[in-house]
Amino acid sequence: MVPASGPWKIVIADDHALVRSGLKDIISRIDGAEIAGEAADGFEAIALGRQIRPDLMTLDAGMPRSRGMEVYGEVRRWSPDTRIAVVTGFTSARTLSEWIDAGVDGLFLKSCDPDVMHRGLEAILRGGRFIARDVAGILEGEAEIQVLTARERQVLHLIAQGCSNAAIAERLSISAKTVDNHRTRLMAKLGVHSVAELLAFALREGLLDQSAQL
């Protein structure tokens, strides 16, 4: 379990030294954070995840010797409490959606403002989930939005927080089947087909903001 306050061990995984240097500068501004290791390829990232079991790993989505999604799966397997923030140069909506659907704790573009990265990484370390607004902008669709009921908005908010159907059912004192029905209606009303698209809608509509825990 990642502690709510430091000290936090952080591993930076990126094959570009310049990016690693920039991330070190940003992380140095987070009270209680310390760099526990650096990886320049996928194999090194997996090895450090297994050896150090860091509180947070920043992960490049496309590194040599094992791609980002493979690294993500292996680190999750060996160190399930490690929170993982993907920092990527890929701007494909499909690729970004895959990361969100995989359950990554944070998602940033490499063009992200350093202050946004700083706030986001700190929020993740404190237990939140952070999807940068420029990522959400890529994911936003043009579907016509129908009016949501108060209950549907509650369910949407909890989905965006990463809650399972069972957890939502417990929070709202309803059955898991009712939650599933709400989820199905939300998808239909919003014209979306994935959690990534639901999350983009929640950000756009102000249900979640850039610095909130998702």
Residue 147 is predicted with a pLDDT of: 65
* Cα-based distances in Å from 34 to 5, 10, 25, 125: 12, 6, 11, 12
DSSP secondary structure, 103-165, as one string: T-SEEEETTS-HHHHHHHHHHHHTT--EE-HHHHHHH---PPPPPPPHHHHHHHHHHHTT--H
Which tokens sit at 105? 């704790």
Residue 188 is predicted with a pLDDT of: 79
DSSP 8-class letter at 80: T
The strand pairing partners of 113, in sequence order, are none
Helix, strand or coil, per DSSP, at residue 13? strand
Residue recorded with tokens 């292996």: 74
Residue 125 is predicted with a pLDDT of: 95
- Per residue of the chain (214 residues), what is the pLDDT tens digit? 666 666 999 999 999 999 999 999 999 999 999 999 999 999 999 999 999 999 999 999 989 998 889 999 999 999 999 999 999 998 877 788 889 888 899 999 999 999 999 999 999 999 999 999 888 888 764 334 456 788 888 888 888 778 889 999 999 999 988 998 888 888 877 777 787 887 777 676 555 544 333 3
| Distance between CA atoms of residues 91 and 19, nearest Å | 17
**Which residue, 147, 62, 64, 143, is CA-closest to 99?**
62
Q: What is the CA radius of gyration of the chain?
A: 17
**Whole-prediction pTM value?**
0.67
Residue 19 is predicted with a pLDDT of: 96
**Residues with Cβ < 8 Å from 10, sequence gap 6 or more?**
27, 33, 34, 35, 36, 54, 55, 56, 57, 58
| Distance between CA atoms of residues 54 and 36, nearest Å | 7
**Residues with Cβ < 8 Å from 195, sequence gap 6 or more?**
100, 101, 159
